[in-house]
Amino acid sequence: MIKYDIGIIGGGPAGMAAAISAYKNGAKNVAIFERDTRLGGVLWQCIHNGFGLTRFKENLTGPEYSERFYDEVKALPIKIYTETMVLSFSEGVITAMNKSEGIFDVEVGAIILAMGSRERSRGALTVQGERPAGVFSAGTAQRYMNIKGYSVGKKAVIVGSGDIGLIMARRLTLEGTKVEAVCEIMPFSSGLRRNIIQCLEDFDIPLYLSHTVTEIKGKDRVEGVVIAKVDENKNAIPGTEFEIDCDTILYSVGLVPENELTKDAGVELSPRTRGAVVDQFRETDMSGVFSCGNVLHVHDLVDFVSEEAETAGKWAASYALSGKREKKFAFTEPGQGVGYTLPQRIDVTDDKPFKIYFRVRAEKRDATLRLIKNGEVVREIKKSRVAPGEMEYVSFIPKGLNEGDTLTVEVI
Amino acid sequence: MKDTVCTVCPKGCEVKVEIVDGKITLVEGNGCDKGKEFAIGEFTCPKRVVTSTVKIDGGDMLPVRTDRAIKKELIFSVMKKIKSVKVFTKVKTGDIIIQNVDGEGANLVSARSLDD
């Protein structure tokens, strides 16, 4: 059986950064398993800019950002499998499949999960109507337009005001499709404020907060939508319905980490992040299996993905070369105002500082962030503005933290 | 009071601007001078980087971008020019696809390298 120090599942931005980091940290035999025809993941279709502001202090498009890592991966002796599907993994083994080798096993010193996320679909939302052509997930429409050069329709309504929906509102408009409206079921948008400005306000595209599409009209092709206001339980308020004529609907209603393989392998997943439970080194509860990027928790900025992947790569290399370490865990918990914290557990035998990432449940101004250890406030920080659509972090040093302790992050 | 988000650095400061009789009388919320400049620019002569795609002859689409921000009112005329162009050769990231695409010195450049 072929053996690699590190087997990386997924060759997008997380997989590439993890591979480079693992190599630079001493793992000389690194392999990436990618199911698409090339590395780069979803970045190739993200032709808009806004990438790399933190990492490179430049404002890059997705392809430009991706190419920085792609070039570095190609320059190193990293084994790249493309058009190769991983079927399963367990401690020390990855089973994959491709045209030339059929189904094959590889032995690995450590595994890094970097499979990214997929989009939630209209089907998951149970919207009334037939099944006319013209209903796309925003990412599919993005791929059709930006990779293939197709127009997806003439008049569109977008459901969901997260960043992907906002970016596509602008993209469609620039390419001649009239975007009639963006609907958002929550009373606030989860997208970055700069995207609201540059994608909606720039083009006078109306944003209907606390609204959703309740019915799709049309049999063979979309003919229109019925939009209604919703109450605080997200139920349509009768009498508030209005119709918009359109031939295209884009759904941008959330990303879901793609953890089928992870679940099958028996790795513990968190229902809050829908990704693996990890420690500050991004190791899961399965020895030698690490996770990073969108498959671990959905990110807003790829700069953070690269940083996280480098952490996973470094410690996966350490595991592959030096073996398993005995760890003792304390735990993080989301408190008031916080949706999740990551890492969910902290190895207290190590005292290196690290970042605790979290997301708040609602937009707040002049908020107070508190770190609470076993019921006692250990740190308080003022934050001028926090929002669910913008992942936050707080730096932390695990000194004085003991096994079994709970560290709660609250934002009020 | 009008507000915008500065995009110069990742801080993304929310900058508020007061405009009286078409003149900017107050700028606040900026974390630095670049932010002040950005906000003033946003309400006097707003500019945007345009990103789009260009057809590759015999292939898919090539991502392209303007190499600097262009005046907002010129965006759609730039889009028209982008639609009229096709790429036939190898390109490297940064190669100029359309020189002076906005008539004011910005170029349209490739956002990726193509080997064929």
| Of A126-135, A320-329, A356-365, minimum mean pLDDT range | A126-135
What confidence tens digit (pLDDT) does each residue in A150-162 have?
A: 999 999 999 999 9
Cβ of A174 within 8 Å of Cβ of B111? The answer is: no
Q: What is the largest CA-CA distance in chain A?
A: 66
Residue B62 pLDDT: 97
> Is this complex scored with an ipTM above 0.85?
yes
Which candidate, A114, A23, A62, A151, places its Cα nearest to that of A308?
A: A114
Please state whether beta strands B108-110 and B96-98 pair in parallel, antiparallel, or not at all (unpaired).
Answer: antiparallel
* Average confidence (pLDDT) over A246-269: 97
Q: What is the DSSP string of A246-309?
A: -SEEEE---EEE--HHHHHHT--B-TTTSSB---TT-B-SSTTEEE-GGGTS--S-HHHHHHHH
CA distance B23 to chain A (A): 21
B78 Cα to chain A: minimum distance (Å): 10
Asked whether the beta carbons of residue A146 and residue B113 sit closer than 8 angstroms, the reply is no
Residues whose CB is less than 8 angstroms from the CB of residue A10 and which lie 6 or more positions away in sequence, other chains included: A32, A33, A34, A41, A113, A114, A115, A116, A293, A295
Q: Which of the residue ranges A191-195, A199-203, A367-371, B74-78 would you say has the lowest mean pLDDT?
A: A191-195
* Region B21-49 average pLDDT: 91
> For chain A, what is the mean pLDDT?
95
B52 and A CB contact within 8 Å: yes
Nearest-neighbour CA in chain B from A251: distance (Å): 21
The verdict on a CB contact (< 8 Å) between A54 and B50 is no
Joined together, the tokens standing for residue A89 give: 């993994």
Nearest to A148 among B50, B60, B64 (CB): B60
Q: What token pair was written down for A37?
A: 């025809």
**According to the model, what pLDDT value does residue A301 have?**
92
Coil, helix or strand at residue B107: coil
Contact check, Cβ <8 Å, B5/A63: no
**Residue A34 — pLDDT band, cuts 50, 70, 90?**
very high
- 8 A C-beta contact, residue A316 and residue A334: no
Residue A124 scores a pLDDT above 70: no
pLDDT tens per residue, range B47-88: 999 999 999 999 899 999 999 999 999 999 999 999 999 999
Does residue A194 surpass a pLDDT of 90?
A: no
Which residues in chain A have Cβ-Cβ distances shorter than 8 Å to B79? Answer: 174-175
**Is-contact A279 A329, C-beta < 8 A?**
yes
Question: Which has the closest alpha carbon to A148: B88, B85, B51, B61?
Answer: B61
Amino acid at A183: C
Q: Which of A157, A159, A390 is CA-nearest to residue A252?
A: A159
Tell me chain A's radius of gyration from C-alpha atoms.
22
